[in-house]
């Protein structure tokens, strides 16, 4: 007879409380995954409701805002960790709305450079201000010390992941 899965909150704090069966590392990973999905879902809903846009569109515009000289489609694809086809579709829709402009690369006519238009930059900056407010509202109740410790631990985890490639 199967058992219902335990929630993260109900899992024992220490592996020895679970008879050695529950690895703290797995609980941490599941907690990180759960929080990431819940925050993404919240941000997705808010972007859709307030700006009638998707998180993918917001993320692409964020990358282009960071690189005012533009990105190639391949660079954007790599930075967002999505396929070239997904980027092409996003760019086409954003271009049709006047938020992105495509240019031919001056040294390689086969390569396209994408940039935010002035309207695209204004639109993105409005969304970014609200996005920041939403993230602050989610994490704002943590103490400054808790946020600093969490940030240090995330940096350690990223460093460890970099070692794995």
Domain segments of the chain: what residues? 55-160
User: What's the Rg (C-alpha) of the chain?
Assistant: 21
Asked if CATH classification 1.10.10.10 holds for the domain at 55-160, the reply, yes or no, is yes
Average of pLDDT values for 84-101? 93
The share of the chain scoring above pLDDT 90, in percent, equals: 76
**Does residue 145 have a pLDDT over 70?**
yes
In this structure, of 83-87, 99-103, 160-164, the range with the lowest mean pLDDT score is: 83-87
Average of pLDDT values for 51-57? 96
CB–CB of 70/114 below 8 Å?
yes
In this predicted structure, what is the pLDDT of residue 67? 96
User: Model confidence at 61, in pLDDT bands (50, 70, 90)?
Assistant: very high
In this predicted structure, what is the pLDDT of residue 23? 86
In this predicted structure, what is the pLDDT of residue 19? 46
Q: Could you write out the three-class secondary structure of 54-121?
A: CHHHHHHHHHHHHCCCCEEHHHHHHHHCCCHHHHHHHHHHHHHCCCEEEEECCCCCCCEEEEECHHHH
Task: Extract the tokens encoding 64.
Answer: 């282009």
103 has which bridge partners?
113
**Does residue 18 have a pLDDT over 80?**
no
Q: What is the mean pLDDT of the chain?
A: 88
């Amino acid at each position: 007879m199967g058992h219902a899965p335990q929630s993260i909150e109900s899992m024992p704090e220490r592996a020895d409380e679970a008879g050695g069966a529950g690895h703290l590392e797995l609980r941490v990973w599941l907690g990180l995954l759960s929080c990431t999905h819940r925050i993404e879902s919240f941000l997705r809903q808010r972007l859709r409701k307030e700006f009638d846009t998707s998180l993918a569109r917001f993320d692409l515009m964020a990358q282009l805002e960071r690189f005012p000289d533009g990105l190639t489609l391949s660079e954007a694809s790599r930075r967002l960790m999505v396929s070239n086809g997904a980027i092409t579709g996003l760019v086409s829709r954003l271009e049709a709305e006047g938020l992105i402009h495509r240019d031919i690369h001056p040294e390689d006519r086969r390569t396209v450079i994408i940039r935010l238009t002035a309207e695209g930059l204004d639109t993105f900056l409005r969304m970014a201000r609200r996005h920041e407010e939403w993230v602050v509202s989610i994490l704002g109740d943590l103490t400054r010390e808790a946020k600093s410790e969490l940030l240090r631990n995330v940096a350690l985890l990223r460093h460890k992941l970099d070692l794995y490639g």
